[in-house]
Structure 1
Amino acid sequence: MLDIISINSIPVFLLMFVRVAAFFVTLPLFSYRTIPTPFKIGFSFFLTFIMFYTVDSSAVAIDEFYLFLLVKEALVGLLIGLIAYIILSAVQIAGGFIDFQMGFAIANVMDPQTGAQSPLTGQYFYIIALLFLLSVNGHHLLIDGIFYSYNLIPIETFIPFHDGSIVEFVIDAFNKMFLIAFQMAIPIVGCLFLVDVALGIIARAVPQLNVFVVGLPLKIFVSFVAILVFLALYIALVKSLFEIMFETMQGLMQLFGGV
């Protein structure tokens, strides 16, 4: 206990605290405005205090490179949380594709959690995804990610940016994110495309009918019915999205640690 509270252990504790606090700045769920900042700081502090007993800090040298270690720890926490947030944003991108076909693209809403504008359908899917993440204790797995990151990324090592493997990995993660967004949007977008084809045929067959007046409520009705039908498919895709998110976080930590 005396070693834990000694003066020599404070710089190592500060390094761990910077990584954990930076991790919660960009991590989904924990980084939202609805969570008070004192709670984030206190949770980061006590989580760091718990992890301090389990991390080997004997190899950390307090020298002129200590400031660079602080910057590295902040980058590790920010980037790991950010890659998880980017992967989870596939739900909102899929909602943007759907809203563009529904005619809701001009009616964005303000997300109180992030303070950014988001599409209506995307916000609906995003709330379902977050509730599903909480129901399967996914937030516990996110905390495990920062806990076990010290096994892959030791405190005393720096990030190997000399090769392009990290850039290629991030680009591949973006590709997976857009692929899942396309898979989530394609059922609704496909149905709305068929509605547009039918409206085009009706406009040619019955010129007296104003398809612009009939088309908008019809497309909204078809979209709601399609969302209700394909909701089970969305849950399966969100489950796959979570698996990709956790695998991407682990892969990025392995690259940061030079594994």
Structure 2
Amino acid sequence: MSGLPLDIDQVLAAMQLYYWPFLRVSALMLVAPVFSAANITVRVRVLLAVLIAALVAPLMPAAPVANPLSGEGLLLAAREVAIGAAMGFVMQMVFAAVVVAGETLAMSMGLGFAMSIDPQNGVQVPVVSQLNVILSTLLFLAIDGHLLLLAALGDSLVLLPPGQPGFDPGTFANLAGLGGGIFASALVLALPALTAVLMTNIALGVITRAAPQLNIFAVGFPVTILVGFVFLLLGMPAFLSAMRRFLEAGIDQALMVF
């Protein structure tokens, strides 16, 4: 009993319909926040990438037919990985700006020595940065940022379909400019509490000059920590509002970067 004839060209064409979107989706999940969390296993990430690639593959105008192991296929694969990683990197910069804002405030409050493990990146960050990351992650999920990011990825398959040679050389310049703007805006998140802590330190300096016998280390640290947390609490509505704007802007820039 003979088997059905198997045309290798038809098999490759059918596989490539999902192969190129899978590369872009998997690169996004390797870099983007929440998806790239250390507590999400590689197996779960790969299965999720396969599922999403199967859903977004019909959005492509046409799948390129090229041998994935050929020189042309490797260049096309590198392009897809670069596009997915760049889109995820944009959102990762937003979360990195939150960490920088927390580190700046923690150092001013005297909590630079209080470190904890960031579950998102697996590195040690100050507790204020950890609080900011947790709030930002919850807000990112609350506004369906993960779904909007995947929707932007699906739109990129229409705007930048696989098979085109290369991409705009100004992409990296756009990423650098976007990163500079995001990190400059990170100071806005910490500015209210940072200003209060700075004024407190100036007041403690004046008190120390007026009363040198005062133990500034015994008084200064509790006061600056208390003032920092009080103004963090008072500025929490403004922080969440600004963070929401940053996340929405990051999702929009994930496509505009190209």
| C-alpha separation in 1, matches of 2:81 and 2:199 | 49
| C-alpha separation in 2, matches of 1:179 and 1:58 | 40
1:69 aligns with 2:69: no
Matched with 2:39 is 34
Matched with 2:185 is 180
- Kindly provide the amino acid, as one letter, of the partner of residue 127 in structure 1: I
Matched with 1:145 is 152
* 8 Å contact from structure 2 (residues 30, 85) kept in 1: yes
1:108 aligns with 2:115: yes
1:85 aligns with 2:95: no
Q: Work out which of the residue numbers 236, 241, 245 in structure 1 matches 2:246.
A: 241
Q: How many residues align?
A: 247
In structure 1, the gaps of 5 or more residues are: 1-5
Summarize the Cα distance change of 1:169–1:9 in structure 2 as closer, same or farther, 3 Å threshold: same
Query: Percent identity over the alignment?
Result: 26
Matched with 1:3 is none
Secondary structure of the corresponding residue to residue 59 of structure 2: coil
Normalising by structure 1, we get a TM-score of 0.89
Q: CA deviation at 1:193?
A: 1.0
- Kindly provide the amino acid, as one letter, of the partner of residue 112 in structure 1: P
Q: Work out which of the residue numbers 171, 176, 194 in structure 1 matches 2:176.
A: 171
- 5 Å matches for 1:224-239? 224-239=229-244
1:50 aligns with 2:55: yes
| C-alpha separation in 1, matches of 2:40 and 2:173 | 34
- 5 Å matches for 1:245-256? 245-252=250-257, 255=258
* 8 Å contact from structure 2 (residues 16, 63) kept in 1: no
| C-alpha separation in 2, matches of 1:64 and 1:12 | 19
Summarize the Cα distance change of 1:133–1:23 in structure 2 as closer, same or farther, 3 Å threshold: same
Secondary structure of the corresponding residue to residue 155 of structure 1: coil
Alignment RMSD = 1.8
| C-alpha separation in 1, matches of 2:71 and 2:180 | 40
| C-alpha separation in 1, matches of 2:63 and 2:132 | 46
Normalising by structure 2, we get a TM-score of 0.90
